[in-house]
Chains A and B, each alone.
Chain A
Amino acid sequence: MNLVIAFLLVPFGGMLFIPFLKVSRIGILAFALLFINTLISGYFAVQSLIGEAIIFSFPGSFITGEIPIRIDALSSWFIMIINLVFLTGGFYGLFYMKAYREQRNNLALHSIAFLFQYTAMVSICVIQNSFVFLLAWEIMALTSFLVIIFDHEHLATVKAGINYLIQAHFSIIFLIMGFIWVASKTGSYDFQAITSYSASISEQASLMLFLFFFIGFAIKAGFVPFHTWLPYAHPASPSHVSGIMSGVIIKVGIFGILRMLLIIKTDYVTVGYIILIISLVSGLYGVMLAIIQHNLKKLLAYHSIENIGIIGIGIGIGSIGLGTGNQVLATLGFAGALLHTLNHALFKSLLFYTAGNVYQATHTLDIEKLGGLIKKMPQTALLFLIAAIAISGIPPFNGFVSEFIIYIGVYNWLSDATLVSLLAAVFTTSGLAMIGGLAMLCFTKAFGIVFLGTARSELPLSCKEVPFIQLIPLYLLAGMIILIGLFPIVFISLLSHPVSLFTGTVGFGLHPAQVNAFKSLQPVSWASWMLILLIISIFMIRRFALSHRKISTGATWGCGYDAGTSKIQYTAGSFVRTYSKLFAPFLQIGKREDEVHGIFPAKAHYHTHPYDKVERWLIDEPLKLNKSFMGRFIFLHNGKLQFYILYGVIFILAVISIPLIYENINLFIGFLKQL
């Protein structure tokens, strides 16, 4: 109990001291405080992950009622992920932010907001009172806004931040509606009231209730079509914040959906199908748009949407398993989703940090301008490569393990199935396969264009590898990626407790049903081991064979012409040109081109601007319509005080007179009826 209060007080301590420190100490104190808080929350999380749920209760006030705090296995799984990403992100940020030392006040605000953001996110995972939950949710939204707009001298950053702020509040509106619905019927803000209330109403009503929460959390998680804030907010924020946003903030949305699945009693099969369809669309649409992006961070941001889709597919089939009473399917679905949540947090934050390194060295994120960085930044390149393979779901790394579990789940689903579920299963597998293939196209492009070949534009002379100490958290993440790939069983046993919350079994350790579901994971890890051993041994043989031979270097084969410049290399745009032509109906790419004419052509140019079709039709066009409709009333807003007073008078008159008139009309109608 005291520890919980200490946990809540730590960020306030930061608020008291950080503004008065020297600029070089701000980051260190903030990180130290963050570290203390991760220790406290980690202490509780580990306890409840391997043992029983921990329950506290605060008396609260007369508005909120009692505030129960419950750290169960699901919360602790997410707390562990949040801790991991915040620690690595905070440490990385210490060095990444060195370039901004002259902005002292800005840094102080950023650090304080960062601490509050962390505290709010962990609180969201454990609070069981809807009023306080919304409060923490709002603190998280506001502090995220503050950390996003760190670089607020750029207009684009502020725009992205405000876009985020507005959409975050749309999410809150839906949550408030859901919570108020329950609170107005039961008079209690406790989450248990939601459970009992949803069990007492009809299935359609509880489905509606679930959908309110689902939309609220889906905006946070970035499911298509609620994703449009994400590709702006991620690139605009500093790289350690982008890593954290993509690693954990959108995961809080996933946490919310999982929590609601636990506490709302509804028709899980319908819910499962809804989540499955939205997730498939998100997965495909996210990666389809990621491929055509030129901005490295924006590309990664669209990939977050794709991965949220994969997590959602897991949740969808898990929930269908719950609804149909198929324990194995539910286990595989939820385990795949939860493991992919961790996996995505690992490789996506690693990708954003390496993108940060690239930005730090080259001051650009436009991949068309980069190239050949592997020679200048070999360690960053290697780390990016590991994460790229992992995110494409390729063995022997962690992305494969979680996708494999989801695949096994879907194939398992085939065994007890009706026509509808069979069709859903076959479209899910082909969708997953397609997502995997497109992710490979995207990351071969990203890695190949940014790090390989030769530089496509003049890079700054100072372009070099970042200091090793900055790379330490990145190596830690890469190590985790490899560990999960090679020892999946260890992590699956950690997951047994959170998963059994859904499937209804209790206690730590794998249950017979779970053992059965995961029995093919052991051979998969052997296969990964064999693959690595095979690669090492063949590489050794190759080295031995080449050690006696003549090795020489020469120019790249250029069809007999080796005086080409780096400009003739394949660019990111040309790498995906066939793709963007094939998928043209789904994409929106603006073009500006000036073609080559004549015998002595003048300078020609070709620009493309990828845009989001969903954003255009769901956000831009309705806003435009709204604006043109509202524009008709702009004459009212004429800036003359007399008119405004007149409006006030008209309003008061209307308020008083309308009920009177209404009664008269009623009398009149009554009179007509009598006739």
Chain B
Amino acid sequence: MERVLDPPVLQRHRDTPLSLGVAFVVMVVLLIAAPFLVYPVFLMKALCFALFACAFNLLIGYVGLASFGHAMFFGWASYLTAYAAKTGSLSIPYWFGHTMWFVIGFPPQSPEIAILIGAVTAAILGYITGIIAIRRQGIYFAMITLALSQMLYFFALQAKFTGGEDGIQGVPRGRLFGVLDLNAEMTMYSFVLIVVLAGFLLIYRIINSPFGEVLKAIRENEPRAISLGYKTERYKLAAFVLSATLAGVAGSLKALVFQLASLTDVHWTMSGDVLLMTLLGGLGTVFGPVVGAFVVIAMQNYLAPFGQWVLVIQGAIFVVCVLVFRRGIVGELARILRVRL
């Protein structure tokens, strides 16, 4: 049986980390040069989604858990960041419905604190939903995460502070550490680039740590990992929370870039988008999610005038990827070049 996430290339060429270093340098150089050639807001959007997709890939590519609900982390972090940066006072839901919000008065927060709040939100949400979702595997896991994220979509729709259909608009970007004015496009771009690269490196570090090796062992053969004495549930939960947190950072950044948090970010279509990016770029590859994110965002950008055709094309890409292109762009490239990417 061919497994989802086992591009054979990775096993054969494990001894060439040089290709990864070269690819990383190329990526960084391209991203530094890019804002002089391409519209920076587009690049920042693509970067946010690149981080989102990398966080998602940590789970599907290295643990083999396909989440259909990552929009909840992305979207809720984005809401909380937007709210913290704009209004400040902290609203904590302690039961559902719009009537029950625990509010602590704070002044509007600076961007780094706002992002931190978004990340913490995503981490807590990841912990709670993770405990529920990791009780089942495979397709059940996908259905459970999808259902939970739909629940959180309805919470966002009903909660007062999210602004319902309008979302939270006019979020101030503010001054980073009270010094750097993020309203300047290039400063904002540099900030986004640094955060995304840091997230990228962190994920790379995680998958190459002893912890990451255990994750891969769980992906390959969970019963065997259990028999070796690993508490696989804990590892899976930890990976889930890490993935959720980084997805949250991506959502927080996006809220600041667009100065907007809206229902689109928590809707299940967002989970579908990030899945598409990862699949198209290459499941379980280091650079795949980044490439996938840029391709999908560019496609959405250029095809926007064609309305609903975007949905049709995205669906068609899913079908084609599954039938004939399971390694994705970067996976195929790695196979042709016979290197690890």
- Asked if A pairs with B, the answer is no
Q: Which residues of B contact A (CB under 8 A)?
A: none
